[in-house]
Each structure stands twice: as structure tokens, then as C-alpha cells.
Amino acid sequence: MTDGKNTLLEIRNLTIQFPIKGGFLGRQVGAVHAVNDVNLTVYEGETLGLVGESGSGKTTLGRAILKLLPIRAGQVIFEGKDITNLSPGQVRPLRRDMQMVFQDPFGSLDPRMTVFQIVSEPLVNFKMGDKRRQREYVQELLKTVGLNPDHINRYPHEFSGGQRQRVGIARSLALRPKFVVADEPVSALDVSIQAQILNLMEELQGEFGLTYLFVAHNLSVVRHISDRVAVMYLGHLVEIADSEDLYDHPLHPYTQALMSAIPLPDPIQERNKQRIILTGDIPSPVNPPSACPFHTRCFKARPICSQVTPAFEEKRPGHWVACHFAEVPGVTRPEEIKPPEAATP
Amino acid sequence: MADEAGGDTLLQIENLRTYFHTHAGIVRAVQGVNLHLDKGETLGIVGESGSGKSVTALSIMRLIPQPPGEFAGGRILFRGTPIVDVREEKRGNEIRRVDKSISESQMRRIRGGDIGMIFQDPMTSLNPLLTIGRQIAETVQEHMGVGRKEAYDRATEMLMKVGIPSAKQRLKDFPFQFSGGMRQRVMIAIALSTNPDLLIADEPTTALDVTIQAQILDLMRGLSAEFGSSVILITHDLGVVAGMAQRVAVMYAGYVVETAVLDDIFYHAQHPYTHMLLQSIPRLDLPRDQPLHPIPGSPPDLLTLGPGCPFVPRCPNALPICRQQMPPLDPVGGSGGHLAACWNPVKEKAA
Ligand SMILES: Nc1ncnc2c1ncn2[C@@H]1O[C@H](COP(=O)(O)OP(=O)(O)O)[C@@H](O)[C@H]1O
Ligand SMILES: Nc1ncnc2c1ncn2[C@@H]1O[C@H](COP(=O)(O)OP(=O)(O)O)[C@@H](O)[C@H]1O
Ligand code: SF4
Ligand SMILES: [Mg+2]
Ligand SMILES: [Mg+2]
């Protein structure tokens, strides 16, 4: 997948922190280490999946790429151009090329606006077309995303969750972007509706030549839609590989645990599968563990893991991982399975 | 195991109807729930949001706020005791509603004692102002008739059993001092502290991250074996059901539309909804480029449902009768106990 592909976006050593203010002078007393030294390339036309548990920094990373957040260190390079330090005025033209689809089809649409107003807002912002032309265009867009164009004057509450997500997608496409960050676009939808939206996103990708960063915590959904998948833990990118390769041969112990934790909708597989049950909770990003962020819960951890940060290395072609003990496939899956914490004799 | 006479049946629900009277009209949240649960069994209830899963659970606990809620009909029998028993009887020309449900004081003994419940969000059922130790101990004192000291010992024991480190010290902590996963462990400790015969878990892991979910499910598997409780596990996640339940009831628009032993639901689904739901989810064991088959349309609006099968607008098998009459939950397929409410069930291809 990565061979002979053009780079659309490159992220270099990206670090994002949120200050924590405290005390009565409101001084900074600490920071949330939301994204830590992340390196990532997104190729033109691909879907890059981004998975990780809540708080791992997925949304922050997506928002930073779209220049919606101050970047503390590192670079974002879009189409060969360093956009890290652009002024708001310089960012504006970029908004046409990069768009976002949000998780919550209920919260992200203004309830007082009609579908026409919602979808055409980006056009109005960029002074594109007159009202009549905008109307025709929005109706075309509605058709494209599987909505009835006659519903152009309706309000969000008149639509179901899946239909509202279609409205959000239509809006994100209005300016014909090249790159779309979809942040948990199906997580709030009913299971029977998720497939509709996933199929739609796949169709639109072909039709509009889109590149996706697809953020989600549902690993089955991510595998289905993504060409490559990146795994985050506590603000760190811990593994990235082609979708099949990652799911067939996860190399990072966290990815391995994550994969084994996916409940499979198949009783026989559930009965036979090997479970890796991690101990303990996800640590706080305010006070992240030293060196490897996963060492406090890792079933393979050795003393070195809390002392030396593991390098992000390419263990197989296109398969990168940050772990001192990442196995090369062909060697075993972990045997050291710990029981859940403490308790029952 | 179940015998035909139902001697080992712990819970039996017949034609349960639970309605809500709202400004917009009557919401028939539960309009035809039939299910039973045997001793020691884990029953999974699956269905999309709004299908009536929580209302079913709250009906069993008799925690439906009345008004706006109302038990419009049906029975819930717990060890033969009528938690709910509402029937319509004809006297001459008059139709009267006869309510033979047990009193609230009888119900209080069952609730939290014989039946424990865990919710999706533990914060809604934990008191933020009381220590965890006190909350467990009070439940134990109330339902098990033991003294304070014994109740606190039981609380420590339960926190240990659910895998909370330094259990004894943590008795003094308040709910906000626990993480989401740890709070759910506390809820499980409270629910199991009275040795209930039945544990109802309503989306217990939906709000949790997947590795924490795996911990909690693992804990529940171990504990239900150890305590021998029967469990009703409510979830929208077919994967969670596949790993936890022995039997499954599938809900749609307030009805149980299919019920069977676990493998029959997953490998021999008879109701078009169950069948299509299983086809619509991405699966790790199939090739990545396998297309998904979505269910067209949207879940129904309970306020505007017609008289027939609620799945009719989305169903490829629909017949004219489907629009007119709700199909009964009748036996289908090979092995016993497989029921589906459908006029035109899925025909299985001969293998
Ligand atoms: N605006 C903000 N202010 C302070 N902390 C934030 C802000 N946004 C996110 N965070 C914190 O940054 C971390 C990463 O969050 P997020 O990127 O939302 O994770 P994810 O999307 O993977 O769930 C979390 O600990 C979160 O609480
Ligand atoms: N107190 C209430 N008042 C009015 N409607 C209610 C109330 N509680 C539940 N409902 C309605 O009942 C239906 C079923 O809800 P619920 O059982 O919570 O679904 P599920 O748990 O399957 O997602 C929904 O349409 C919901 O809006
Ligand atoms: S009863 Fe009719 S509409 Fe309902 S599921 Fe069966 S075939 Fe489909
Ligand atoms: Mg997020
Ligand atoms: Mg519910």
C-alpha cells in the first residue's frame, strides 16, 4: 500500500500539551501530555486508521493536524508545505482542503439551522456561488450522501442519527476537500446504521478522491475501513502497519492485548480465543509513566522498560513499533498471561 | 438445566407491556416481552438503543417511575412471585384492569437483596456523599440481617473478590476517588454482596475502554460461576453476548423478536432482523474487503408504529400480512427453545 504512494501529510515529532492551571494566581501547575513526539505519514488516497483507548490523544492529534490547536513542538507538513506556524489568515485557504467529520451527529449540528444552512455554511464563508447555485449544489450533495434533496429545509431534529451523520458528511464535502479527519464518525450510531455510513464513506472516497484519517476505538470497524492502522497509547504512537499485517501480527504488547480484548460476534471463536487481560488502569497523562508509557500494565515489561524509551523502529517492511521486546512474527504470541488483579484465591 | 415443567425457572416474563405517557403520546417502550431465565444461567438481551432493554430491566426491578410509566399488562414472575401481574378481565360489558402484583414493601425485600442490578453508569447508583464501605455495608445490613461489624467485613471481602487492591483501606474512599473501571467493580461488589439469585447487568461495560471491558467481563465470568447467580446481561454488543451468554433474547421496538441458545442465534438466526444485524457488522475473521451489508432505513419511532411487525419497513422478507398483524413468538428451526416472531423467517440454505 505504501509503495509508490505520494505523501499528502507528514507529522514530525508532534507534541501537544494542555496546561493545567492551579492555585489562586492561576499559574500553570502541570500539563496534560496529550500527544508525545508523534511521527506519522499519510499517503494520498489512503485511509489511515487511528485507534487507542479514550484519552490516548486521537482527537487531539486530529485537531492539531487541522490547525485547530496550538502545537507545542514538531511540524505538520501538508502537500510538502510546513503549515505548523501559519497565521490564521494563512490557514484559511487550507480549510478548503482539510475537513472534519465529528462523532456526535446530535451535538455537532446547530439545531436552529436548516440542512441547507448547515451544508452551505462553508460555501458562504468562502463566498462561493449565489444562493440559487448553492441550493442546487446542496441538493446534489444531499443526493450523493443518500438523503432526500427535498428535505433541504428541514432541521436536524427531524432526522435520525444516521441521517444526521450524513448531513455532517455532506457539509464536510461541500468545499471538495482532499483530506478528511473523521473522528469516531460511527461510534454514536446504532450497530445496524454503522454499516450504512461506513459504506457511504468508502464510496465517497472513490468518488471524491479523498484521503481519510479515520479515528475510532472500535477495532473491527477500523480494520474494515483502513488501509493502514496506527495505534496510540497515552499520547504515544506505539505501532503502525498495514491493516492486515497489524491485525494478523500485532507486535506491540499493547496492540496484542487490545486485539485479544475485542469481543468477537462468534461464540466458537469467543470460547477458543486466548485472552490477554491487562492489569490495572490506564495511567494519567498528567503524570505519565517514565520511558515506555505502557510499562505499568505490560505483561512483558522488564526493568529497562521504565528506564529507556523504546525507539520507534521498522521491524518489517512498513511495520513500525516502539517496544524493547516486540517480537518478530513467527515467534510466539505472549504466553505470560496474568490473571486479573489480586483477589479470588 | 430447564425441565419442561419449568421447575428450574427463576424468572418468567409473559407478554409484558410497559408504557410511558408523554406529551407526544403513548410510548410503548415494551409491548411484547416474553422470556424466561433458568437458575445459574446467563441470558443475553441484545438490541439497539431504544429497543426497550433498560425498560425491561427496570420493570423486573419495579423501578419504572409511575407516572409517566405504567404496567399496561403482562406478568413478571420471580420464583413464582408476581413482581408484576396486570391483567384485563371482562365483567359483563366492562373491561377492568386487575393488578395482582406484590406490594411495594414486599418488592423492597427482593430489590437489592434477591435481585442485584448493575448499570452502565455506576455514578447514577452510587451515592457521591457516602464512602464505598458504608454503601456496601448498608446494603448488606438491610438485606442480610447482620450487624455493623459483620457488614463491614463483608464489604472488605467483596471488594477483594472484585479485584480492588488494598480493599480494606479503600472502604473509606468516596466514589469519585475510583476510576471508571474500578467504580464498575464496586457496583458489582454491591450487587453481589447479598448473594442475589439474579444479577441484572445493563450495559455494564459500554462506557469502558476495551481493555478495561475485558477485565470486567472476565471478572463477571468468574463471579457468576463462583456465586452461582443467574445473570441477565443487557448489551448492544453482539461480541459481548457471544462471549458471556448461554441463551440470547433479541429485542426490537419493544418486542422480543427472537430467542434461542447462543449458537442458534449466531449460526442459525431465523428472524430477518437478527440475521441482517449479524451481516452488518465488520468482522475480524473475514477478509478486510468483504463488503458490509447494512440494514436499510432506521430504527422505528415508537410513537408512530403501525399494527404489524415493527421491522416491516426494513425487511426484505416482508409479506402483506406483516403490515397488518404482529407475528407471535413461535417455535422455529431445529433445536428446542428456538422462538422467533416472524411471518416469513429466514430460510437456511442446506449445508
Ligand atoms: N482542551 C483540553 N484541555 C485540557 N486537556 C485536554 C483538552 N483536550 C483533551 N485533553 C486531554 O488530553 C488527553 C487526550 O485527549 P483526546 O485527544 O481527546 O483523546 P482521545 O480522542 O484519544 O480520547 C486526555 O487526557 C484529555 O483529557
Ligand atoms: N421515563 C420515560 N419516559 C418516557 N419515555 C421513556 C422513559 N424511559 C424510557 N422511555 C422510552 O422507552 C423506549 C425504550 O427505552 P430503553 O428501554 O431505555 O431502550 P434501550 O435500553 O434498549 O436503549 C425509548 O424510546 C425511550 O425513550
Ligand atoms: S414479520 Fe415480516 S416484516 Fe417482520 S421480520 Fe418477519 S418477514 Fe420481516
Ligand atoms: Mg476522541
Ligand atoms: Mg438502555
**Coarse DSSP helix, strand, coil percentages of chain A, rounded to the nearest 5 percent:** 30, 25, 45
Residue B335 — very low, low, confident or very high, per pLDDT cuts 50/70/90?
A: low
CA A91 to chain centre: 22
pLDDT value of position B299: 86
Contact B199, B224 (CB under 8 A): yes
Q: From B219, which residue of chain A is nearest by alpha-carbon distance? A: A340
Nearest to A343 among B160, B277, B280 (CB): B160
Phi-psi domain of A31 (left: phi exceeds 0; alpha: psi -120 through 50; beta: other): beta
* Structural domain contains residue B139: no
**What one-letter code names the amino acid at A40?**
L
What is the rounded (10 degree) CA torsion for B190, B192, B197, B203? 80
Contact A37, A309 (CB under 8 A): no
As for how many domains chain B has, the answer is: 1
List chain A domain ranges: 7-97+177-336
Intra-chain end-to-end CA distance of chain B, in Å: 30
Residue B90 — very low, low, confident or very high, per pLDDT cuts 50/70/90?
A: confident
pLDDT value of position B233: 96
Q: What is the number of other CB atoms lying within 10 angstroms of the CB of residue A9?
A: 22
Q: From A219, which residue of chain B is nearest by alpha-carbon distance? A: B284
pLDDT value of position B333: 73
* Structural domain contains residue B184: no
Q: DSSP states of A117-135 as a string? A: HHHHHHHHHTT-S-HHHHH
Q: Which CATH number does the domain A7-97+177-336 belong to among 3.90.950.10, 3.40.50.300, 3.90.600.10, 3.30.70.1280?
A: 3.40.50.300
pLDDT value of position B124: 80
**Contact: A265, B226; criterion CB under 8 Å:** no
Query: Considering every ligand atom, which ligand is closest to the CA of B30?
Result: 2
Which residues in chain B are closer than 8 Å to A340, comparing Cβ atoms? 163, 215, 218-219, 222
pLDDT value of position B94: 87
Q: How far is it, in rounded angstroms, from Cα A224 to Cα A201? A: 12
Distance (Å) from the alpha carbon of B47 to chain A's nearest alpha carbon: 9
pLDDT tens-digit map of B261-297? 999 999 999 999 999 999 999 888 888 888 889 999 8
* Structural domain contains residue B135: no
pLDDT value of position B334: 66
CB of B242 within 8 Å of a chain A CB? The answer is yes
CB of A261 within 8 Å of a chain B CB? The answer is yes
CB of A191 within 8 Å of a chain B CB? The answer is yes
Distance from the alpha carbon of residue A34 to the mean position of ligand 1, in angstroms: 6
CB of B263 within 8 Å of a chain A CB? The answer is yes
* Structural domain contains residue B50: yes
Of residues B284 and B243, more confidently modeled: B243
CB of B157 within 8 Å of a chain A CB? The answer is no
State mean pLDDT over B196-205: 92
As a whole number, the mean pLDDT across chain B is 90
Q: Which domain holds residue B283?
A: 9-108+230-340
The tens place of each residue's pLDDT in chain A, 345 residues long, gives 445 689 999 999 999 999 988 777 778 888 899 999 999 999 999 999 999 988 899 999 999 999 888 888 999 999 999 999 888 888 888 888 999 888 876 777 888 999 999 999 988 888 888 889 999 999 999 998 889 999 999 999 888 888 888 999 999 999 899 999 999 999 888 888 899 899 999 999 999 999 999 999 888 999 999 999 999 999 999 999 999 999 999 999 999 999 999 999 999 999 998 888 888 888 989 999 999 999 999 999 999 999 999 999 999 999 999 999 986 443 344 443 443 444 333
**Contact: B298, A341; criterion CB under 8 Å:** no
Which residues in chain A are closer than 8 Å to B160, comparing Cβ atoms? 342-343
Give this prediction's pTM.
0.89
Domain of residue B273, CATH code: 3.40.50.300
Percent share of chain B, pLDDT over 90:
62
